[in-house]
Amino acid sequence: MTDASLAAVANFDQKQALDLRERQIAVLGSAKQIAHVIYVVTELGIADRLVDGPQPVGRLAADTETHEDALRRILRAAAAFGIFAEQEDGTFAITPLGEGLTSARIGGLRPMVQFSFHDFNRLPYAEIMHSVRTGEPAFNKVFGMGFYDYLQTHPEVNRFFEGFMAHWSRRLADRFAAELAPERFGRIADIGGSNGYFLAKMLQRHPAGTGVLFDLPEVVADAEPLLKEHGVAERVEVVGGDFFSSPLPVGADAYILKSIVHNWPDDTCVALLKRIRAAIGEADARLIAIDQIVPPLNQWDHSKIIDIDMLVLFGGKERDLREWKAIFGAAGFELVNTPAAYGWALLEARPI
Ligand SMILES: C[S@@+](CC[C@H](N)C(=O)[O-])C[C@H]1O[C@@H](n2cnc3c(N)ncnc32)[C@H](O)[C@@H]1O
C-alpha cells in the first residue's frame, strides 16, 4: 500500500470511530426516550399482537385505541433498535429482540419494563438528585415512608412486587438450586422469602427437607396457595414478622437471604446478619445470600444499573466482593465458597 492509501484508510477508520462515538452519545443521551418507547410498546402489548404474523399499523392502532400516526412513529423508533421490523408494505413484524417483550417469555424484558415504569419507581427517579446529594432514598422523600412500608399500605402494588420478585426467581431457581444443593440441609429458612416461590422450588428438589418461610405478615399471607400448588405446604412453617425486630426462626441448617441484603445500607445489613448469627447460636448452619456482585473497574454489568435502583428506591446498594466480605465479617460470618465473579451470585458463609 502507498503512503497515501494508508493515510486514507487511517482517516476512514478515524471517521468511523467518530461516527460510532456520535451514535453512542446519541443513544445514551436519548436513553429516556428509548425507555419510553419500550414502555409504550410493552403497555400496549404490541409484541403479543405480532406473534401470529406482521400487522398493519392501522390495525394495531384500532386494537390498542391509539392514534395511528403517533403509534407508527413509536413503532418506527422501536424498529430502529431491532425490537420490531418495519416492512415495505407498512406492516410491522416481530423480531428475536421483540420476542423478549411477549408475555410468554419468562426471561424477557416485560416485567423489568413494568417495574421501571410503575409510579413507585418512576416518581422517585424524578427526584434522583436528592439521593445523589444525600445518599438517602428519593422514594422516602416522594412517598413519606420507606419502600416496604408503602407496599404494606398498598396491597395491589405489593402483589405486583411479589410477582416481579417471583419472575426473577423463576429465572434463577434452577441455576441456584444446583449451586445451593438444598439436599445438604435438613431445614431451610428463607428470610424475606416473599410468597415462598424460591423455597418451594428448593423443597421440591429435596423431598425429605422442611422449610420456614419468614416475611412480613401481609406478604406471607399470600403464600399458602403457592406452597400448596407446589406440593410443599405440609413441610413449610410460615412465619409472619419483622426481620429487624421479631424473633427469627431457630434450628435451621441454612438461612437464605435472596435479594435482601442489597436493599439495605451496610449498618442495617450487619444488624440483620447479626440477628441471624444469634439465631444460629452454636449450630453448624450456613448463611446463603443470593444477590449481585459488582465487577471491578469499568466493566459492564447489570449490577451497576440495579445499584441505582437500590440507591433511589431503598437506600441500599450492590456490593463488590470486598464489601460482601466486610459485612459478613462484621456480623460474625466468613465466606466459604468462591462465588461468581460478578452478576447474580450465591455467597455461602458460616459462623466464625
Ligand atoms: C426484594 S424482595 C426479595 C424477596 C425474595 N427473597 C425473592 O428473592 O424473591 C425483599 C423481601 O424482603 C421482605 N422484607 C422487607 N422488609 C422486611 C422486614 N422488615 N421483615 C421481614 N421481611 C421484610 C419484603 O416483604 C420482600 O418480600
**Residues 271, 177, 287: CA angle, nearest 5 degrees:** 20
Ligand 1 contact, 149 CB (< 6 A): no
Other residues' Cβ atoms within 10 Å of the Cβ of residue 96: 8
Task: Read off φ and ψ for residue 84, nearest 5 degrees.
Answer: -130, 170
Counting ligand 1 atoms within 8 A of each CB, the residue from 139, 147, 148 with the most, and so the one to mutate, is 148
CB 274 within 8 A of CB 247: no
Domain boundaries, the chain: 3-102, 158-351
Q: In the prediction, which pLDDT does 13 show?
A: 78
The pLDDT value given to residue 106: 64
Closest C-alpha residue for ligand 1 atom 24: 192
Q: Say yes or no to pLDDT of 74 above 90.
A: yes
Q: What's the grid cell of residue 17?
A: 470511530
Q: Is 262 a catalytic residue?
A: yes
Q: Is the CB of 292 under 6 A from ligand 1?
A: no
pLDDT tens by residue, 187-226: 999 999 999 999 999 999 999 999 999 999 999 998 999 9
Amino acid residing at 102: T
Residue 234: pLDDT over 80: yes
Percent of the chain's residues with pLDDT above 70? 97
Region 9-22: mean pLDDT is 78
258 lines ligand 1 (CB under 6 A): yes
Atom of ligand 1 nearest to the CA of 218: 25
The edge-to-edge listing of strands for the beta sheet with 333-335 is 236-240, 210-215, 187-191, 254-258, 286-293, 343-351, 333-335
pLDDT(282) > 80: yes
Q: What is the CATH number of domain 3-102?
A: 1.10.10.10
Would the CB of 259 count as within 6 Å of ligand 1?
yes
Alpha-helix runs per DSSP H in 65-206: 68-80, 96-99, 110-117, 119-125, 128-134, 138-143, 147-153, 155-180, 197-204
Quote the CA–CA distance of 88 and 79 in Å, as a whole number. 13
Ligand 1 atom 12, closest CA: 192
CB 164 near ligand 1, within 6 Å: no
Q: What is the rounded CA–CA span in Å between residue 256 and residue 41?
A: 37
| Ligand 1 atom nearest residue 161's Cα | 2
State yes or no: pLDDT of 59 exceeds 90: yes
How far CA 13 is from CA of 17, 26, 172, 177, in Å, comes to 6, 20, 42, 48
Question: Closest residue (by CA) to atom 14 of ligand 1?
Answer: 192
Which pLDDT score, from 0 to 100, does residue 79 have?
Answer: 97
In this structure, which topology does domain 158-351 adopt according to CATH?
Answer: Rossmann fold (3.40.50)
CA distance 256 to 269: 14
Question: Between β-strands 254-258 and 333-335, what pairing exists: parallel, antiparallel or unpaired?
Answer: unpaired
Residue 120, classed as helix, strand or coil, is helix
Q: How far is the centre of ligand 1, averaged over its atoms, from the C-alpha of 238 (Å)?
A: 14
Categorize the per-residue pLDDT at 108 as very low, low, confident or very high, splitting at 50, 70 and 90: confident
Q: Is the CB of 202 under 6 A from ligand 1?
A: no
Q: How confident is the model at residue 1 (pLDDT cuts 50, 70, 90)?
A: low
Residue nearest to atom 15 of ligand 1 (CA): 148
User: Is 254 strand, coil or helix?
Assistant: strand
Catalytically annotated residue among 67, 206, 262, 302? 262
> Which residues are CB-contacts of 65 (< 8 A; sequence separation ≥ 6)?
none
What does the pLDDT look like over 142-194, one tens digit per residue?
999 999 999 999 999 999 998 888 888 888 888 899 899 999 999 999 999 99
Q: Whose CA is nearest to atom 1 of ligand 1?
A: 259
Pair 230, 259: CB distance under 8 Å: no
The DSSP line for 189-249 is EEET-TTSHHHHHHHHT-TT-EEEEEE-HHHHTTHHHHHHHTT-GGGEEEEE--TTTSPPP
Provide the pLDDT for residue 131: 98
**Across residues 332-339, what is the average pLDDT?**
97
User: Are 253 and 285 a contacting pair, CB within 8 Å?
Assistant: yes
Q: Is 196 in the pocket of ligand 1 (CB under 6 A)?
A: no
Protein residue with its CA nearest to atom 11 in ligand 1: 192
**pLDDT value of residue 171:** 82
CA dist., res. 234 & res. 259, Å (int): 25
> How far is the C-alpha of 242 from the C-alpha of 149, rounded, in Å?
11
| DSSP line for 271-319 | HHHHHHHHHHTTS--EEEEEEEE--STT---THHHHHHHIIIIIS---B
The candidate with the shortest Cα–Cα distance to 142, out of 161, 120, 159, is 120
SS3 172: helix
pLDDT for residue 49: 97
**Residue 262 Cα: closest atom of ligand 1:** 1
Residue type, 165: M
**Percent of the chain's residues with pLDDT above 90:** 82
Q: Which pLDDT belongs to residue 216?
A: 95
Q: Are 186 and 210 in contact (CB under 8 A)?
A: yes
